[in-house]
Amino acid sequence: MKTALIFGVTGQDGSYLAEFLLKKKYKVHGVKRKSSSYNTNRIDHILETNKNFSLHYGDVTDAILVMNIISRIRPDEIYNLSAQSHVAVSFEIPEYTANVDALGCLRILEAIKSSNLTKKCKFYQAGTSEMYGKVHEIPQNEKTSFYPRSPYGVSKVFSHWMTINYREAYNMFACNGILFNHESPRRGETFVTRKVTIALSKIKLGLQKKLLVGNLNAKRDWGHAKDYVEAQWLILQQKKPDDFVISTGKNYSVKKFIDMCAKLLDIKLKWTGKGINSKAFDQNGNCIIECDKRYYRPTEVDILLGDSTKAKKLLKWKPKISFKELVKEMVEYDFQNLKKTYREKK
């Protein structure tokens, strides 16, 4: 029975990866942060039912804890999914973001080395398309150079190179996944996709009047988190440690995402204006979407599009869930959930 340790298990990907590994008969350990309110809602269903799943308090900003957890569990595989993962927030708390997203990875790598686990333990680092930032070429592949545009992106570049350095210096099985945006009904509520599916569902149910957004023209290569955690596992099952781009190869604008959600909810949108003056009206003539400068970033990543040819060839990986199916699943989940909560309250 293999043992896996997941940093960031309470997050979107952590929860899907834990489910995936438990199905593969792994013993799964996860690290959760101490918080004053419950933060395990994405994994409660497995915590209650699976005896091969256990949680440990920890934080990647605490080197002693990281060291203690790793040396005690001595896992076969470590997935570092922990991060302050919100790009816009990283401009507000850059030093904290670097502490978690850059130094966090280094602390884990160093703990593997100090615990004499370099031969036994494989390591996965959750890299991101945000490292491409102001893109040097379209589409982006493993050889495309980085030009990060946020403290988040810069911190992830540090972790990317640190992972490669430990691989080369200490012969570790340490790999980077360079994952493009991936979403799901478990996506954090302040990322644009989930923010839109929740807000439009509430507007449809008469629980909210308006949705305020930022840059509608940004284009993202959006996949489903379930498909992407499978790729994370596959990366660690190869003969040699390596780095892989994981993406769908198709991109859509934020505006297109909103249009698709509105259509699924039978909201007929009529757009007026351009850029920050864009507005959308519903069939009753109510303005239900506006842009607000609060949601624009000091430096934006305008367009991302991944080329996963290497993953297709070596990992035999390709996304199973289409963009259309992803949007439908997210809209249906939020609409039905909100409808139920609203009815129960009434």
The answer to whether 78 and 29 have CB atoms below 8 angstroms apart is: no
Looking at the DSSP bridge assignments, the partners of residue 54 are 29
Q: How far apart are CA 56 and CA 301, in angstroms?
A: 36
The first and second tokens of residue 212, run together, are: 């305020």
Q: Is-catalytic flag, 130?
A: yes
Q: Is-catalytic flag, 152?
A: yes
Q: Which is nearer to ligand F7E, 111 or 303 (CB)?
A: 303
The answer to whether 315 and 235 have CB atoms below 8 angstroms apart is: yes
The answer to whether 156 and 131 have CB atoms below 8 angstroms apart is: yes
The answer to whether 269 and 211 have CB atoms below 8 angstroms apart is: no
Q: Does 297 bind ligand F7E (CB under 6 A)?
A: yes
Q: Is-catalytic flag, 290?
A: no
Residue 39 contact partner, candidates ligand NAP, ligand F7E, none, CB within 5 to 8 A by sort of partner: ligand NAP
Q: Which is nearer to ligand F7E, 113 or 195 (CB)?
A: 195
Q: Which is nearer to ligand NAP, 8 or 151 (CB)?
A: 8
Q: How far apart are CA 148 and CA 155, in angstroms?
A: 9
Q: Which of 191, 271, 281, 333 binds ligand F7E (CB under 6 A)?
A: 191
Q: Does 87 bind ligand F7E (CB under 6 A)?
A: yes
Residue 215 contact partner, candidates ligand NAP, ligand F7E, none, CB within 5 to 8 A by sort of partner: ligand F7E
- Residue keyed to tokens 């955690």: 229
The residue range among 13-21, 159-167, 229-237, 297-305 that interacts with ligand F7E, by the rule CB under 6 A, is 297-305
**Residue of closest CB approach to ligand F7E:** 218
Angle at 115 between CA 110 and CA 120, to 5 degrees: 100
What is the contact surface with ligand F7E in residues (CB under 6 A)? 85, 87-88, 128-130, 180-181, 190-193, 195, 213-215, 218, 220, 254, 295, 297, 300-301
